[in-house]
Amino acid sequence: MEEKKVFFFEDYFLAPEYVFQPRPETELLVETAIEHIKEYIYKISKPKKDKFVIVDVGTGSGCIIISIYKKIERMLNYLEIPYKMIGIDIDMKAIKIAVHNSKTFNSCVDFILGNLLEPIKKADFIVSNPPYVSLKVKDKITVSDPPHTIFGGEKGYEIILKLIAQAYSVLKENGFLIIEVGYDDLKFFALEELKNEYKKEIFSFAKNIGLKIFPPVNDYNKLERILIFQK
Ligand SMILES: C[S@@+](CC[C@H](N)C(=O)[O-])C[C@H]1O[C@@H](n2cnc3c(N)ncnc32)[C@H](O)[C@@H]1O
């Protein structure tokens, strides 16, 4: 196992070059998810029969779901809420790294090879930092991460729309979908028109499908980075 480690949220995660390198902006996704998960948990009436399920789609090194696990596992145990946490990735190499990280932190998270939410029947929370960069900026950026971890399609939002559609059928009533996006970055490439289209397509798709839309959360550069939807 290669030893390249990246600091994320509160710990170092194994993340060799062939998996996506965890980024600081994704810590905001973790913080936002934890905040909403805590609020949601308190509203769960006890005793609870079905498990509280959190799914991380496109888990990569597993840094998001493991960080969430570390923050809320004690609370779930204290409240005697049965739970299941799952990380999914289409790349077996990423799954192996996520499993390794999970063992390192002694976390109880299952990692599954799969395409988006296909392996999942029901979930309370879906979190994701999906590939969201437009292929239109391919020649304008230099990143060492594998292309399938970065690019979401010609426009960039193609995978996000698929994820929203699947999330709607997988989410339990009042469940949340929390995703990281990067449409505001497009303004740095003079792609203002695509930026507006990107945002409009996501929000109108989510609204038409029947999801409630929360205000986006801005990152430290005042760019809209985290989107929150509720069923
Ligand atoms: C931007 S990376 C995020 C990795 C990690 N969650 C993080 O934030 O550091 C996107 C991840 O999605 C995975 N991925 C791409 N297409 C996918 C698909 N159709 N289904 C599941 N995972 C996918 C990639 O392999 C990659 O690990």
Q: Dihedral sign, CA of 176, 58, 13, 185?
A: negative
Share of the chain above pLDDT 90, in %: 92
Ligand 1, atom 7, lies closest to the CA of 22
Q: How many domains does the chain divide into?
A: 1
Confidence grade of residue 204 (pLDDT, cut at 50, 70, 90): very high
60 lines ligand 1 (CB under 6 A): yes
Residue of minimum CA distance from atom 12 in ligand 1? 58
Residue 89 in this model has a pLDDT that exceeds 70: yes
Q: What is the mean pLDDT of residues 154-171?
A: 98
Probe residue for ligand 1, chosen from 55, 59, 162 as the CB with the greatest number of ligand atoms within 8 Å:
59
pLDDT exceeds 70 at position 54: yes
Cβ neighbours around 151 below 10 Å, total: 21
Provide the CA 203 distance to its chain's centre, in angstroms. Answer: 17
For 44, the token pair is 């769960």
* Domain CATH code at residue 87: 3.40.50.150
What domain range is 19 assigned to? 5-230
The chain-wide mean pLDDT, for the chain, equals 95
Task: Quote the ligand 1 centre to 28 CA distance (angstroms).
Answer: 17
Coarse DSSP helix, strand, coil percentages of the chain, rounded to the nearest 5 percent: 40, 25, 35
Q: Which residue's CA is the nearest one to ligand 1's atom 6?
A: 59
Instruction: Please work out whether the CB of residue 20 comes within 6 Å of at least one atom of ligand 1.
Output: yes
